[in-house]
Amino acid sequence: MGSPGRKTLSFFLIFVPICLHGTWSQEARPTVQRKPFFQRLHRLEEQFRSFQEVMLTHLQAIASNYNLSYNIDARFQSLAQESQAMALMVNQSQAAMQSDLGHLKTWMRKTHRRSRKVDSRLLALDATLNERSQQRVRERKEQEAQREALSSLTLDMRALQDTLARLVHVVQSQGTRLDTLEGRLQVAGPGTTAPTWPPTQSKPPSPSSPKLQGTRQVLRALSEPRDSPQDFADHLQGTQEPPGSGNQRTWPPERPGEICNLGPALVFPNASTKNVVFLSPGFLLGLRALSVCSWVRTASGHLGTLLSYATEENDNKLVLHGRNSLAPGSIHFVIGDPAFRELPLQLLLDGWWHHVCVIWTSILGKYWLHVDRRLVATGSRFREGYEIPPGGSLVLGQEQDTMGGGFDSSEAFVGSVAGLAIWDRALVPREVSHLATGKEFPPGAILTLANATSISGFVQRVNCTCLELCP
């Protein structure tokens, strides 16, 4: 656009038409006298000036067009650079957005997992609350049934009392007749002939006959004061029904006799979290029934954790758990947290050896607690149909908050344990009695203290021949 060739061409195109126009005008005119040379030169100068003005105008237009094209190129380059910068910013924004989306997806997955865990816990808690409410309803119905049975029993007792009163009257009249007959026999002398009884009536009994003595004993028993109907009904209710989960019986403490050949005893001297015993290999199969029996001795003011079984899924799959915040002698029997039953073991706090058996079966969820052969607590609807899974960590003396760890000194057991054994079935009362008296060890135990492969801390393993010699 601004090259010398283009400038020459523009000048030629402008100058040629002007010259041709002058030539044609001269030819078209009639022949006149030629003007002087100076006039022609002056005219030519004027034409040159006009041509110069036109030429200057064209050159200015060409210069302005050249500047405009140069500005357009500069603007185009700046726009190209700005577009590149915008593309770079867009790429960076896309990368940052992708990173934020990745973080958001990770957070959403974690939130979803936590929500599922919370939902499962809420469902378990809801099931437990429903189970407890149903249990309370059943207990209320049982209490109402017991009250009705007690009221009917009271009525029966009153009827029985009336019948006994009539019998007392009849027996007293018979006793009066017997006394009269005795007097007549004593009055009769050696030569007196005994009265002749008709063939249909037997001979009257002598004063020393067993029948007469028994009748007198009955009379004396009937003449003694008797319990009220309510007391008698309570006695019958206490003897006919086993103690429930909330009922406790106070038994006189028993001292073990010659209980020998129990194997080693474990002594937990203090509440250190290092005092722990692991039983291996643990539960190899799932358990739908369980019996845990052991000789226990403690001088502490509370019972610690005797046994704890934890898995990756739940750290309280099976726990006999006590701590100093519970009532003295109370222990929580946990199967699949959060379900538990509170068991009364106050008898174990006297510093003597006691035999304890905790038995559970998933059939109707029944459980029993035996202390020194006696049934102390029982109940039902506890983890009915549940199965304790295998593959966990089984610990003595500590409560696990994580699998194989997470111990707390306030939950530690302080005392001695001997003869501990675990069965995958429910022992019958005869087996519990034989085990507590040292007569017979029930067959089929899946774990004993011989499986104590890891003993840590200050726990001592003591070999004693008989129980009374164990510390």
Is 173 or 206 the better-scoring residue by pLDDT?
Answer: 173
Is the predicted pLDDT of residue 225 greater than 50, yes or no? no
pLDDT band at 6 (very low <50, low <70, confident <90, very high): low
Q: Which position has the token pair 């010699």? A: 469
- SS3 annotation, 295-348: EEECCCCCCCCCEEEECCCCCCCEEEECCCCCCCCEEEEEECCCCEEEEECHHH
pLDDT of residue 396: 96
In our burial notation (b when 16+ CB lie closer than 10 A, e otherwise), range 310-339 reads bbeebbbbbbbbbbeeeeebebbbbbbbeb
> For residue 229, what are its two tokens?
């109907």
> For residue 470, what are its two tokens?
């164990």
Is the predicted pLDDT of residue 154 greater than 90, yes or no? no
Contacts of 354 (CB under 8 A, 6+ apart): 254, 295, 296, 297, 347, 348, 371, 372
With H, G, I as helix, E, B as strand and everything else as coil, classify residue 465: coil
Cα–Cα distance measured from residue 332 to residue 392, given in angstroms and rounded to the nearest whole number:
20
Q: What is the mean pLDDT of the chain?
A: 79
The pTM for the full model equals 0.49
Q: Which position has the token pair 């997992």? A: 113
Q: Rounding to the nearest 10 degrees, give the CA dihedral for residues 66, 71, 72, 73.
A: 90
With H, G, I as helix, E, B as strand and everything else as coil, classify residue 369: strand
With H, G, I as helix, E, B as strand and everything else as coil, classify residue 222: helix
pLDDT band at 260 (very low <50, low <70, confident <90, very high): confident
Is 443 or 151 the better-scoring residue by pLDDT?
Answer: 443
DSSP readout, 230-270? HHHHHHHHHHHSPP-SS-----------S-B---EEEEE-S
Cα–Cα distance measured from residue 139 to residue 271, given in angstroms and rounded to the nearest whole number:
38
pLDDT of residue 210: 43
Give which of 142, 308, 118, 154 is closest to 228, Cα–Cα: 154
Cα–Cα distance measured from residue 311 to residue 116, given in angstroms and rounded to the nearest whole number:
19
Least confident span in 30-39, 206-215, 390-399, 412-421: 206-215
With H, G, I as helix, E, B as strand and everything else as coil, classify residue 374: strand
Q: Which helix (H) or strand (E) holds 57?
A: helix 37-187
Give the mean model confidence (pLDDT) for residues 104-122: 87
Backbone angles phi, psi at 266, to 5 degrees: -110, 130
- According to DSSP, residue 287 is labeled B
With H, G, I as helix, E, B as strand and everything else as coil, classify residue 284: coil
pLDDT band at 34 (very low <50, low <70, confident <90, very high): low
Least confident span in 5-19, 56-70, 158-172, 339-353: 5-19
Least confident span in 20-24, 355-359, 454-458: 20-24
